[in-house]
Structure 1
Amino acid sequence: MSEQPPYLHIVDVLRQRIADQEWVAGDRLPSRAQLAQECGVGEAVVRRAQEMLISQGVLEGRAGSGTYVAEPQERVRMVRSRQHEHTDGSLFRAEMAALGKKGTWESRSEAMVSAPADIAARLDIPEADYCVRTSYEYLADGKPVLLSTSWEPYSITSGTLAVLPEGGPFAGMGVVRRMAEIGITVSRATEQPEPRQATAEEASLLGVQKGAFVTHIRRTYYSDDGRPVETADIVVPAARCEIVYEIPISR
């Protein structure tokens, strides 16, 4: 088994010192030079450890001032469940209401956008085929908690009242109900979550540090004949949200 990288050891050391309340929220940490001397490592190792803790929301870097212990943030619980897909109205709004928060979202749709190669592969359509692309920013009490970019084959909804996810009589109903309104039954979905760091654009929209850890979920909905009808990239900041999967048990 390979030895733990030095910076990860320093991450554990700093976490423990915070847990032991040697430093509390709002306290400024000693200089990197001092920490490096105390821990017997180079300043570059301390810097990398601090950058990881900043990306996780444990520390906060302030330009020209130093590194501080971040104020603890309440994490929003996001439940992923097959049963929830059949809930009337907005699941996000209902989840936020259960937490005593107001759930809203902002969106922007573009029709007849050429599908890039990876999206075309996920939708099983030729590359550059037209799609409807919708970008979402979901908010809890006015603060961003997740981003989503949805792609639907234009050939499926073209000429119907469901062509725009957030426009027309079916606006805001969600993929499952909107597709049902035009005679398409969505019978299953797949989700592929993976951790990564936020891009500069994502960090700006979410109000987190550049490089902060996020969970990237690639979700695809399929009709009962196996055709992909929508795919989306969902980006959830790890410091603000926890993701819980509910798995039904057959009896």
Structure 2
Amino acid sequence: MPREAPYLHIADDLRRRIRDGDWAVGERLPSRAQLATEYGVGRNVTQRAMERLIIEGILEGRAGSGTYVRSPRERLRMVRSRHREDRSGSPFRADMLEKGHRGTWESHSEARVPAPEHIAQRLAISPGDLCVRTGYEFFANGLPVQLSTSWEPLAITDGTPIVLPEMGPLAGAGVVKRMRAIGVTIDVAVEVPRPGRADQQEANLLGITVGDLLTRIERTYYDRDGRPVETADIAVPDVRWEIAYEIPIDFD
């Protein structure tokens, strides 16, 4: 097994010491130079360790003053709801807006990506059929919230203005609205939540620790004929967010 990077070891130890009460909320930590001497490492190592804890929301840097223990972040509720998508285009933006946060995201799309077997099965296509794959990083007020990888069959969107989800006239509008623009009406969304653990890449992007709990959501959208038109793998850090499902009740 490869050895853990020194800064991760120091970050883990600082996290433990804060949890054990070595420094209280609002208290300033020793300088990077002092911690470097204490741990027997270079200042750049302690700097990376403290920057990691700042990303996690455990510490906060104050210009010209130092680094302080931050009040713990509140664990918020993320509501999964079809109605949010119907109202505002992006269910994520709508959910964040209700909490007073500014929901934003970064994305990168790749066209003509062969579908691996597990994605092909979810989309009811053949392995190797071409798709558009889009990776997303979602933020609330600039802080990482969730990751998502979306797959759309190219056979559905090829030659249309919505072939790339984050480009064109409906960029960022959400899957339901985009598909409706080309005559595909999404009728059902199926989500399967499962517990998971963050790998190195997920931990880096979400500002958490490798092995931290995640809620993994396998989501698939279906049109009125029961055809899968998009599927996505979503990862939400459990330490910051709980998942709630809003289920409408229709009365005859």
Aligned to 2:12: none
CA distance in structure 2 between the partners assigned to 1:233 and 1:218 by the alignment: 5
Q: Structure 1 residue runs of 4+, over 3 Å off?
A: 21-27
- Mark the CA change 1:94 to 1:189 in structure 2 (over 3 Å): closer, same or farther: closer
Alignment of 1:115-194 (within 5 A): 115-194=115-194
Gaps of 5+ in 2: 1-18, 28-55, 60-68
Cα distance in 2 for residues equivalent to 1:94 and 1:231: 20
Partner of 1:219: 219
Deviation for aligned residue 1:121: 0.5
- In the TM superposition, 1:68-147 aligns within 5 A as 71-147=71-147
**Which letter maps to 1:94?**
A
What's the offset of the Cα at 1:71?
4.8
Q: In 2 relative to 1, CA 129–186 (structure 1 residues): closer, same or farther, beyond 3 Å?
A: same
Whole-angstrom distance in 1 between the partners of 2:83 and 2:140: 23
**Distance between the aligned counterparts of 2:121 and 2:26, measured in 1?**
47
Match of 2:38 in 1: none
Instruction: Figure out how many residues of one structure are paired with residues of the other and give that number.
Output: 197
Cα deviation per residue 1:20-45 (whole Å; 9 max; x = unaligned)? Answer: x9996589xxxxxxxxxxxxxxxxxx
The residue type paired with residue 236 of structure 2 is V
CA deviation map 1:109-131 (0-9, x unaligned): 00000111110110010001110
Distance in 2, Cα, partners of 1:25 & 1:116: 48
Identity %: 57
2:249 counterpart SS class: coil
The alignment's TM-score, normalised by the length of structure 2, stands at 0.71
SS at the partner of 1:87? helix
Q: Which residue of 2 aligns with 1:64?
A: none
Residue 187 of structure 1: how far off its partner (Å):
0.4
Distance in 2 (alpha carbons) for counterparts of 1:70 and 1:116 = 43
RMSD: 2.6
Provide the rounded CA distance (Å) in 2 between the counterparts of 1:236 and 1:189. Answer: 18
Deviations 1:70-98 (A, max 9, x none): 85212232111232231233332232222
| Cross-structure match for 2:229 | 229
Bigger drift between 105-114 and 79-88 goes to: 79-88
What are structure 1's unaligned runs of at least 5 residues?
1-17, 28-56, 61-68
Q: What code does the residue aligned with 1:138 have?
A: F
Helix, strand or coil at the partner of 2:88: coil
